[in-house]
Amino acid sequence: MSCSALSSVSAAGLSPDDASVAHIHFIGLDVDESGVPYMASIPVHKVTVVALDPRGDVLLAYEMNGAPIPRDHGGPLRAVVPGVVGARNVKWLGRVVASNEESQGFWQQNDYKAFSPGTDWDNLDWKSAPAIQGLNVVSAICLPAKGEEVSLEEGEITVKGYAWSGGGSDIVRVDVSLDGGKTWAPAELTKPPTNSSGRAWAKTLYSLTQRLPEGVEAGGKLEVVVKATDENYNTQPESAGPVWNARGVVNNSWHRVQVNVV
Ligand SMILES: Nc1nc2c(c(=O)[nH]1)N[C@H]1C(S)=C(S)[C@@H](COP(=O)(O)O)O[C@H]1N2
Ligand SMILES: [Mo]
């Protein structure tokens, strides 16, 4: 249960058509050593027209799963900005401010930004990159667990996990490989319920049961790999190298899990 950010913004006398409003700021009640609160902002026009849109999904949430939000997760009140990086989902919310400028919060200006693999701590200029808002497509293997035993006698393996993409992009396919990424098969998808906005905020679950590849022997290993594709046909890179960045963010390279054949 929660109220939409829109209703609070309009209760404050702000019109969604107000052209001077470009950013919605969320300001937390927690402060750093110098007394400055945690704060972040989201652009109203891009990642989330939703902040001021009647069909919007940005929430000021006070409950999670029917119970008050636990303090660790931002209770009594938290901004929930679906499809957007955790850093903008401000916990212990104290104030919402409409502004024509981006938040000057430390974590908005000097962290949660990605740079070229050729940029390191000595030559990076925080001002040269935009704050991360929406995110890239990711997927993970939840089952099997690393080092789990797969029986040759049973002859098959079930791979399960989740996929998700930023900005409300839906997941259209999840591919699973049992041989380290040489061959692939599409998994079955379980979609989260969609709402009236048509955006896919929640994780898509996937599952695939497959015969073990030919030539696999007891005592050997299988490398299970997964990659997802979103509705913009964006997919994940094979390795972290080409997306490496000094801060180590937005690494969405293939998730790999090795299992033992017995
Ligand atoms: N007020 C406040 N909100 C905050 C933060 C914070 O330090 N203070 N950290 C942010 C970051 S970087 C993340 S990843 C998420 C973590 O949310 P969680 O603890 O519910 O997983 O909270 C975000 N909201
Ligand atoms: Mo974070």
Q: Coil, strand or helix: which one is 224?
A: strand
Same domain, 32 and 64: yes
Question: Is 119 contained in some domain?
Answer: yes
Whole-model pTM: value is 0.91
Task: State the pLDDT at residue 21.
Answer: 81
Question: Is 133 contained in some domain?
Answer: no
What is the enclosing helix (H) or strand (E) of 7? Answer: helix 5-11
Whether residue 90 has its Cβ less than 6 Å from ligand 1: yes
Starting from the CA of residue 247, give the closest ligand. 2
The full DSSP string for 188-237 is EEEPPPP-TT----SPEEEEEEEEPPTT--TT-EEEEEEEEEETT--B--
Phi, psi of 243 (to 5 degrees): -110, 5
d(CA 28, CA 107): 12
pLDDT tens-digit readout, 9-60:
566 667 666 777 889 999 999 999 999 999 999 988 654 444 556 657 888 8
DSSP 251: -
In this structure, are residues 200 and 169 in contact, taking their beta carbons and an 8 Å threshold? Answer: yes
Task: State the pLDDT at residue 45.
Answer: 66
Name the CA dihedral angle for 53, 58, 83, 129, rounded to a multiple of 10 degrees. Answer: 80
Amino acid at 21: V
Last residue in a domain, options 108, 128, 148:
128
Q: Is the pLDDT of residue 6 over 70?
A: no
Same domain, 52 and 81: yes
d(CA 165, CA 94): 29
Q: Is the pLDDT of residue 244 over 80?
A: yes
Same domain, 87 and 123: yes
Report the candidate in 73, 189, 84 with the shortest Cα–Cα distance to residue 139: 189
CA nearest ligand 1 atom 10, residue: 87
Q: What is the mean pLDDT of residues 155-174?
A: 96
pLDDT tens-digit readout, 103-145:
999 999 999 999 999 999 999 999 999 999 999 999 999 999 9
Last residue in a domain, options 128, 157, 189:
128
Q: Which residue has the higher pLDDT, 82 or 53?
A: 82
Q: How confident is the model at residue 198 (pLDDT cuts 50, 70, 90)?
A: confident
Task: State the pLDDT at residue 47.
Answer: 42
Task: State the pLDDT at residue 52.
Answer: 57
Whether residue 28 has its Cβ less than 6 Å from ligand 1: yes
Residue 154 contacts by C-beta under 8 Å, 6 or more apart in sequence? none
Whether residue 91 has its Cβ less than 6 Å from ligand 1: yes
CA nearest ligand 1 atom 6, residue: 38
Whether residue 92 has its Cβ less than 6 Å from ligand 1: yes
Domain limits for position 206: 138-261
Whether residue 73 has its Cβ less than 6 Å from ligand 1: yes
d(CA 205, CA 189): 6
Distance 202 CA to ligand 2 centre (A): 18
Same domain, 119 and 144: no
Q: Which residue has the higher pLDDT, 66 or 7?
A: 66
Mean pLDDT of the chain: 91
Task: State the pLDDT at residue 18.
Answer: 73
CA 82, 88, 94, 96 torsion: positive or negative?
Answer: negative
